[in-house]
Structure 1
Amino acid sequence: MWLCVLIPLLVLSKIAVSKSVISSLPGFPDDVQLFYYFTESERNPYDDPLLLWLTGGPGCSAFSGLVYEIGPLSFDYANSGGDLPSFVLNPYSWTKVANIIFLDAPVGTGFSYSRSWQGYNTSDILSTAHTYSFLRKWLVDHPKFLKNPLYVGGDSYSGIVVPIIVQEILKGNEVGYEPRMNLKGYLLGNPVTNSHDDINSRIPYAHRVSLISDEIYESTKRNCYGEYINIDPKNALCANDLQVVSECIENICRPHILEPKCPFFSPKPNALKWDQGLHEENLIELLLQSQLPSKRCRSYNYISSYIWASDRTVQNALHIREGTKNVWVRCNRSLSYTKDVPSSVNYHKNLTKHDLRALIYSGDHDMLIPHVGTEAWIKSLNLPIVSDWQPWFVDGQVAGFKMIYSNNKYSLTYATVKGAGHTAPEYKPEECLAMVDRWFAGFPL
Structure 2
Amino acid sequence: MLPAANYAHPSIMLLFLFFLCIFRWFLFASAAFKVTHLPGFLQQGALPFHLETGYIEVDEVYGVELFYYFIESERNPSEDPLLLWLTGGPGCSAFSGLSLEIGPLKFISERYNGSLPNLVYHPYSWNKISNIIFLDSPVGTGFSFSNHPQGYETGDKSWSKHAIIFLRKWLIDHQQFLSNPLYIAGDSYAGKVVPLVVHNLLNGNKKQNDLEEHPKFNIQGYVIGNPSTGELIDYNARVPFAFGMGIISDELYQGINKNCEGEDYVNPKRPPCASLLQIFEDTYAYYLMYIWANSNIVQEALNVKKGTVKEWQRCLDLNYYKKDISSSLKYQVNITTSGYRALVYSGDHDMLVPFVGTKEWVKSLKFSVTDRWRSWHVGGQVAGYTESYSNNLTFATVKGAGHTAPEYKAKECLAMFRRWISHRLL
TM-score (norm: length of structure 2): 0.84
Equivalent in 398, 406, 423 of residue 417 of structure 1: 398
Q: Distance in 2 between matches of 1:109 and 1:232?
A: 33
How far apart are residue 309 of structure 1 and its match? Answer: 1.0
Q: Distance in 1 between matches of 2:99 and 2:75?
A: 20
Report if aligned partners of 1:51, 1:100 keep a CA contact under 8 Å in 2: yes
Residue in structure 1 matched with residue 290 of structure 2 by the alignment: 306
Q: Distance in 2 between matches of 1:54 and 1:183?
A: 16
Q: In the alignment, does 2:242 pair up with 1:229?
A: no
SS at match of 2:420: helix
**Identity fraction in percent:** 52
Paired AA for residue 135 in structure 1? L
Moved more, 327-336 or 415-424: 327-336
Equivalent in 404, 416, 419 of residue 435 of structure 1: 416
Q: Distance in 2 between matches of 1:118 and 1:57?
A: 20
Q: Distance in 1 between matches of 2:231 and 2:97?
A: 22
Q: In the alignment, does 2:54 pair up with 1:9?
A: yes
Paired AA for residue 10 in structure 1? Y
Q: Which runs of 5+ in 2 are unaligned?
A: 1-45
Paired AA for residue 128 in structure 1? S
Q: In the alignment, does 2:379 pair up with 1:398?
A: no
Residue in structure 2 matched with residue 106 of structure 1 by the alignment: 138
Q: In the alignment, does 2:124 pair up with 1:124?
A: no
Q: In the alignment, does 2:239 pair up with 1:203?
A: yes
Aligned residues: 376
Residue in structure 1 matched with residue 314 of structure 2 by the alignment: 330
Q: Distance in 1 between matches of 2:342 and 2:100?
A: 23
Q: Using a 3 Å threshold, how does the CA distance of structure 1 residues 403 and 232 change in structure 2: closer, same or farther?
A: same
SS at match of 2:232: helix
Report if aligned partners of 2:62, 2:150 keep a CA contact under 8 Å in 1: no
How far apart are residue 229 of structure 1 and its match? Answer: 3.4
Report if aligned partners of 2:88, 2:189 keep a CA contact under 8 Å in 1: yes
Moved more, 315-324 or 212-221: 212-221
Paired AA for residue 284 in structure 2? Y
How big is each residue's C-alpha offset from its partner over 1:333-390, in whole Å with a ceiling of 9 and x where there is no partner?
Answer: 1442111112211211221321211000000000000011111111111111111110
Q: Distance in 2 between matches of 1:77 and 1:205?
A: 30
Q: In the alignment, does 2:342 pair up with 1:358?
A: yes
Residue in structure 2 matched with residue 212 of structure 1 by the alignment: 248
Q: Using a 3 Å threshold, how does the CA distance of structure 1 residues 121 and 153 change in structure 2: closer, same or farther?
A: same
How far apart are residue 246 of structure 1 and its match? Answer: 5.2
TM-score (norm: length of structure 1): 0.80
Q: Distance in 2 between matches of 1:30 and 1:215?
A: 53
Equivalent in 322, 346, 351 of residue 330 of structure 2: 346
Q: In the alignment, does 2:204 pair up with 1:159?
A: no
Q: Which runs of 5+ in 1 are unaligned?
A: 14-23, 251-267, 269-298
SS at match of 2:117: coil
How big is each residue's C-alpha offset from its partner over 1:198-255, in whole Å with a ceiling of 9 and x where there is no partner?
Answer: 1111011112212235564345324322423343326x4x45xx62x654x55xxxxx
Report if aligned partners of 1:80, 1:86 keep a CA contact under 8 Å in 2: no
Paired AA for residue 48 in structure 2? L
Q: Distance in 1 between matches of 2:367 and 2:375?
A: 20
Report if aligned partners of 1:120, 1:335 keep a CA contact under 8 Å in 2: no
Q: Using a 3 Å threshold, how does the CA distance of structure 1 residues 156 and 176 change in structure 2: closer, same or farther?
A: same
Paired AA for residue 400 in structure 2? G
Equivalent in 355, 361, 374 of residue 358 of structure 2: 374
Report if aligned partners of 2:62, 2:148 keep a CA contact under 8 Å in 1: no
How far apart are residue 82 of structure 1 and its match? Answer: 5.6
Report if aligned partners of 2:82, 2:182 keep a CA contact under 8 Å in 1: yes
Q: Distance in 2 between matches of 1:82 and 1:222?
A: 52
Report if aligned partners of 2:112, 2:288 keep a CA contact under 8 Å in 1: no
Q: In the alignment, does 2:216 pair up with 1:180?
A: yes
Residue in structure 1 matched with residue 30 of structure 2 by the alignment: none
Report if aligned partners of 1:108, 1:335 keep a CA contact under 8 Å in 2: no
Q: Using a 3 Å threshold, how does the CA distance of structure 1 residues 204 and 176 change in structure 2: closer, same or farther?
A: same
Paired AA for residue 202 in structure 1? R
Residue in structure 2 matched with residue 275 of structure 1 by the alignment: none
